[in-house]
Amino acid sequence: MHNPKPSQGAAALSLFCLHCLGGSAREWQGVERELGAGISLVGIDLPGFGSAADVPGYSVAAMAEHVAAQVRAAAPGRWMLAGHSMGAKVAAVVARQAVAGAAGLEGLCGLVLLAGSPPGPEPMSEERRADMTGWLDGDAAHRATQAREFVAANAVTLTPEARAAAEVDVLRANPAAWRAWLQSGSREDWAERVGVLPLPALILAGAEDGDLGPEAQRRLMAPHVLTAEHHDLPHARHLLPIEAASTVARLITRFAALPPGETQPPRIPPHYRALLESGRTSTALRDALLARVAPEADTRRAWLPAGAYAVLEAALDRVIPQSPHARIDLAARIERSLAEDAGDGWRFADLPADAEAMHQALLSLDALGRLLHQDGFTGLTDAGRDTLLHRVADGQAAAAAPGLFDGSQMALWFQDLRAMAVKHYVGHPATLARMGYSGVASGGDGPRKSGFTRFGIGEREAWEPVALAGEAP
């Protein structure tokens, strides 16, 4: 399914959409009709379903390769990937390939995950899994009954036409693909391989969904994306693209509207700001933390030459990848601390003072790019930058030119750079909130400190923050 609106011309964004178990690309038709201008929706039938019912390859890896091949064939510029339920797990694997620099998958700029099956094993009771496995076996009457019950159980309200189409899609599924997902695919554990994707994500859940509802999305899906915008859709269960097409289209249109390159600073969640402003946090600590989110903290001093500063930005983007939807300007903060000589007071004996070391190392890194990859560091692909930085970290990269660092010095500098980046990133209150860090509330200003009373393993104070994992600060 690929039907761009005639008024769009060449779409600014391609949205590749993957369906749920027993679904097909047709489930996205209602969403497509209401998407904003500039978004071209491309529905993909996964192997064993819809028009691909006869296509083999039911493992998560095989389905991901099927999707990647279709993205490559379309050769999109700027694109997003949407995955519904089963499709969300496949989308996460494809996204990992894209951010790792797989050829033909360049330009991925976001994920839309609806009632997503997580990268790890999908939560489902073994009794229910065993029952569902045989639903598409048996005669036609049995299969039709199971299809009706499946669709009815996964939606609050559907029009008769939508209900009939959803039931037909279930019956179109290859029984072997249906069984393979329930018995194997949904159990596959890709959590470590997917890791944390440096992409913004829109995560939608039906408020009345069971296994893959709001709680499961926050606990199992959100930790795998750098920043996430969450929406729980009321009066909806699992078939979100069908039963809530208008809402889904509106949320996707808004999510996709952030222009490429436009950045936004991270926000402190209301519950964490309330903790900072409570009597449990001292005034001095509160002021210090809130100063870290002031606009001037992300304003560069123009102390480094523009070329060197661009190299610093590019290197930091590989050390701690961030989303433009919630970005801490690490380069500006590091440059400011160096300009103000606000370091930690020590340095490696083989390196000059911090400020001089930074300038010299950035010149060396750019020279290394030209020496080893025939281009300056900022001109390299992400994969090229990663390769070079790995060599730097191992002490195997030296520019071999007067006035530039040798391999050992570059390794020491890169160790310092990573420490500075982590210090500024983790020390930001929005990051502390995502971590659920409660150490900010170790006492207020008065003589009687309101600290901790529960110290057992696994025990928490009622007021302590909970880690937000991948949820947007």
Q: Domain limits at 57? A: 6-255
Last residue in a domain, options 255, 272, 307: 255
CB contact at 8 A, 215 and 241: no
The reported pLDDT for the residue numbered 9 is 39
| Domain co-membership, 251 together with 381 | no
CB atoms within 10 A of CB 104: 15
pLDDT-derived band at 264 (thresholds 50, 70, 90) equals: low
| Domain co-membership, 60 together with 124 | yes
CATH number for the domain that contains residue 57? 3.40.50.1820
Per-residue pLDDT tens digits for 340-363: 888 778 889 999 999 999 999 999
Length of the chain: 473
Q: Is residue 311 part of a domain?
A: yes
**Integer angstrom CA distances of residue 70 from 46, 140, 227:** 11, 33, 27
Q: What is the mean pLDDT of residues 160-176?
A: 95
- 188-192, 201-205, 301-305: range with lowest mean pLDDT: 301-305
Structural domain count, the chain:
2
Tell me the C-alpha distance between 219 and 57, whole Å. Answer: 29
Q: Is 473's pLDDT higher than 50?
A: no
Last residue in a domain, options 426, 445, 463: 426
| Domain co-membership, 48 together with 138 | yes
Q: What is the mean pLDDT of the chain?
A: 88
The reported pLDDT for the residue numbered 471 is 40
| Domain co-membership, 150 together with 89 | yes
The reported pLDDT for the residue numbered 226 is 75
Q: Is residue 264 part of a domain?
A: no
Q: Which residue has the tokens 């998407």?
A: 35
Tell me the C-alpha distance between 322 and 309, whole Å. Answer: 17
B/e letters for 283-304, b = 16+ CB within 10 Å, e = fewer, are eebbeebeebbeeebbebeeeb
| Domain co-membership, 157 together with 300 | no
Q: Is 81's pLDDT higher than 70?
A: yes
CB contact at 8 A, 311 and 378: yes
CB contact at 8 A, 322 and 226: yes
Q: Is 453's pLDDT higher than 80?
A: no
| pTM given for the model | 0.60
State which amino acid sits at residue 471: E
Q: Is 263's pLDDT higher than 60?
A: no
The reported pLDDT for the residue numbered 299 is 81
- 19-23, 80-84, 334-338: range with lowest mean pLDDT: 334-338
Q: What is the mean pLDDT of residues 162-184?
A: 95
